[in-house]
Amino acid sequence: MRDRRTAIDWAQEIKELLDIRYAEAEKVLLVMDNLNTHSIGSLYEAFDPAEARRLAHKLEIHHTPKHGSWLNIAECELSAFTRQCSSRRMPDRVTLQREANAWVDRRNRTQKGVDWQFTTKDARIKLKRLYPQIQS
């Protein structure tokens, strides 16, 4: 957790993710939002070209839909976190981190799942403008 969300901050988080948390992995599949700092270019801004290239080759990036964040399970989880944990003012970062860790531990223990009821038919109606129109 960093104080800011700059390109450099993102790049440093990615380096930590790849070199410490998933050091043994050949490739890490990363699903993330479309924030402007979340790009391979940020790695080149933060590190020398060889290091940036090394990190980039370990990543397989998939961006969440720009117009369908409500379809994203991670967004649903963040919404639950906001409602259940961080909806009140925290006096400091240490308290926020402690509360967040406790919430994550509780959430993982109870194994909350997703009862996905959104069908392909629903998607075609709701997301009509995203589907190509085929003229026969």
For 6-54, how does the pLDDT look when each residue is reduced to its tens digit (9 = 90+)?
999 999 999 999 999 999 999 999 888 777 888 899 999 999 999 999 9
Q: Please, where are the H alpha helices in the chain?
A: 7-16, 40-46, 49-57, 73-84, 93-110, 120-126
- Per-residue pLDDT, 136: 67
DSSP annotation of 62 reads: E
- Per-residue pLDDT, 131: 64
For the chain, give the percent of residues with pLDDT over 90.
38
Q: How far is residue 81's CA from residue 61's CA, in Å, rounded to a whole number?
A: 24
Q: Given a cut of 60, is residue 70 above it in pLDDT?
A: no
Q: What is the pTM of this model?
A: 0.57
Q: How far is residue 124's CA from residue 136's CA, in Å, rounded to a whole number?
A: 19
* Mean of all residue pLDDT scores within the chain: 84
Instruction: Locate 7 and state its tokens.
Output: 């390109």
Q: Given a cut of 60, is residue 69 above it in pLDDT?
A: no
